[in-house]
Structure 1
Amino acid sequence: MALEDGVPRPVVVITDTEELDPAPGIRLLADAGWEVRVAGSRDPEAIGAVAHDADALIVGYARVDADLLDRVPKVRMLATMSAGYDMVDIAEAERRGLWVANLPGGATEDVAVHALAQALALTRRLPQADAVVRSGGWSGELREVPRRASELTLGLVGMGRIARTLARLAAPLFGGIAAHDPRATDWPEGVERLDLDTLVERADVLSLHIPSTPQTKGLVDAGLLSRMRPGSVLVNVSRGDLVDPVALLAALDGGHLAGAALDVFPVEPPAADDRLRSHPRLLLSPHSAFLSDASLRAYVTEPARNVIAWWATGRPHTPVVDPTSRNASRTTSRTASRTQGVLA
């Protein structure tokens, strides 16, 4: 805790901001009486040097594990600048009795719209049409006829906030929507509930909406891809390691899949010579599904509000780890079990 004119002020450190402008969040925190520092790094040594006396961390992509937490012994609150919190060692945070809060709805609409745009672009064969015109050709050179969305089934793996929003937006366009998520309780009307194998076999567009965990990494492998309908397409706006890139490229090369849209990759950015960058049946975006003017504000202001609320009331707005609960891992255990259920 820092002092200003003899008055103690809590200290919060923003680890790394990448493309985000932290100024709106800094203003909120400063107005609430916080001293704000920006480490501007993912390196634990650099963060520790800035945050040695910090009460809270606002975390971008920096890995928060035992090594970093040993360097910031006063920290009691971790607020992520994202809905995902896989950069935080949750078990270690629970062991130390730390609060962890995430940003569950900051870009829900943006990611859902991005997934829908990718799905429609693939079914309408827009990347191929664009390439034909740019090369001097016209409609006679189109090798594949676009498909009518109202005759297709959109399949969703996962039924969280983003998938539910996507289902609502896509309902007037697709002939049917089906999903798999055996743990989900908030199930939207009009979405057929299927086991994973049946969903994979019936979907014309398969869109992924699950986190990366030991149970879901590599979920979309050669076996799953072989069970997808011939001519179907895959959309991934979730996590890059859900999909085996070698198996995906093989399915595209063999023509079993008509295309795939990737916003996320196993390694980001992919290497210059990575075939994912150049395959003609891939529609790519640079991990930007979350991006909008509104989401950029939310990603810096909502973590700040979580920190301010925690200091003022003893509880952040959107906790995922609550050390005051009799079962501190209650929230995270529920999340983990639901994720594991995706494979059931």
Structure 2
Amino acid sequence: MARPLVVITDTEELDPEPGVRLLTEGGCDVRVVGSRDPEAIAAAGRDAVALIVGYARVDAALLDRMPAVRMIATMSAGHDMIDTAEAARRGLWVTNLPHAATEDVAVHALAQVLSLTRRLPQADAVVRSGGWNTELREVPRRPSELTLGLIGMGRIARVLARIAAPLFGTVAACDPYAADWPEGVERLDLDTLVERADVLSLHSPSTPRTRGMVNAGLLARMRPGSVLVNVSRGDLVDPDALLAALDSGHLAGAALDVFPVEPPRADDPLRSHPRLLLSPHSAFLSDTSLRAYATAPAHNVLAWLTTGRPHTPVVDPTSRTSRMQGAPA
């Protein structure tokens, strides 16, 4: 009997070998494409029964060229690179990794929040230029007197709320879809949250409703001197509106781990703005998470092959309605 073929698309900075080893030992043949190019993926995966996907786009056109595929496993909590509606229509499984880097992203967000409120980038620049504390133009703020606002109350936001609560005066959030609510987090509507938060941290998936939600209107409603943090999805924020709010001084600063185009162009003004704290889409990185990103998708594929059901589905073709479960950031 032929061994089932699993194709791994793009791996970016991840070492796929631990996952390849698990799949091979589990009775699969594996091909690592190492590319987002649909031509290369289709050529390698004509007979593949499963795809393991990094950032490569998987849509109807690609699936038409890979008719044997019955399962798509992402290497991330997000699954917006997959046309999940098309996958559901075709009766395919889609899985994600909801827990691989929850702690890492929450800690990264908190580090950015504290860095901005304590004005650490500005302090660093002063010392490097030969100055000292008398040359600090903006006095740091005390977190215990501030409100931390979270847009979204998924796994990462819940961890961030828990670890930030001892530091901040108030932790508040908005999420109209959250079924239960963590104790100690004030529940507000979006407009009230935006107007009250001293720090606004984004934890929403990229959807037609949320793309561009942080626009000029929302930024204008934020408190003067407040800061924005985005470790979620780059397209949630209108970059031109953000730069304008920073230039005017309405926002004291912002921290971005994600960008509308990744990596941003060399001449992108986001790269050089002095009020921006940047990281290269690295909030998820840790020695522990890197192992999970390589092995957990392989475990999903193997569970599906051996039991008929993967561990963490977001599209379930066995459900009467081909249920799609969200994966909030």
- Shorter chain as denominator, the TM-score bin is over 0.9
- Is it true that 1:199 corresponds to 2:193 in the alignment? yes
Q: 1:186 aligns with which of 176, 180, 190?
A: 180
- Is it true that 1:123 corresponds to 2:131 in the alignment? no
- 2:138 is paired with a residue whose SS is coil
Q: 1:21 aligns with which of 3, 15, 19?
A: 15
Encode CA deviations 1:93-134: one digit per residue, 9 max, x unaligned: 111110101111110000000000000000000000000000
- Is it true that 1:156 corresponds to 2:150 in the alignment? yes
Moved over 6 A (4+): none
Structure 1 residue 8: Cα displacement: 2.2
Q: How does 1:216-295 map to 2 (within 5 A)?
A: 216-295=210-289
Residues in 1 aligned to 2:314 and 2:99: alpha-carbon distance in whole angstroms: 13
Q: Identity of paired residues, percent?
A: 81
Match of 1:109?
A: 103
Match of 2:73?
A: 79
Q: Give the TM-score taking structure 1 as reference length.
A: 0.94
Unaligned runs of 5+ in 2: none
Encode CA deviations 1:264-290: one digit per residue, 9 max, x unaligned: 111111111111011100000001001
Which residue type is aligned with residue 276 of structure 2? L
- Is it true that 1:56 corresponds to 2:50 in the alignment? yes
Match of 1:170?
A: 164
Structure 1 residue 18: Cα displacement: 0.7
Residues in 2 aligned to 1:155 and 1:169: alpha-carbon distance in whole angstroms: 14
Q: Give the TM-score taking structure 2 as reference length.
A: 0.98
Which residue type is aligned with residue 32 of structure 1? G
How many residues are treated as equivalent by the alignment? Answer: 329
Residues in 2 aligned to 1:46 and 1:192: alpha-carbon distance in whole angstroms: 49
Which residue type is aligned with residue 180 of structure 1? C
Residues in 1 aligned to 2:48 and 2:142: alpha-carbon distance in whole angstroms: 56
Which residue type is aligned with residue 279 of structure 2? S
Structure 1 residue 186: Cα displacement: 2.9
- 2:324 is paired with a residue whose SS is helix
Encode CA deviations 1:260-315: one digit per residue, 9 max, x unaligned: 00001111111111110111000000010011111111111000000000000000
Residues in 1 aligned to 2:267 and 2:40: alpha-carbon distance in whole angstroms: 32
- Is it true that 1:331 corresponds to 2:327 in the alignment? no
Residues in 2 aligned to 1:77 and 1:299: alpha-carbon distance in whole angstroms: 17
Structure 1 residue 40: Cα displacement: 1.2
- 1:331 is paired with a residue whose SS is coil
Structure 1 residue 185: Cα displacement: 1.6
Unaligned runs of 5+ in 1: 1-6, 340-344
- 2:300 is paired with a residue whose SS is helix
Encode CA deviations 1:163-182: one digit per residue, 9 max, x unaligned: 00000010111111000001
Match of 1:210?
A: 204
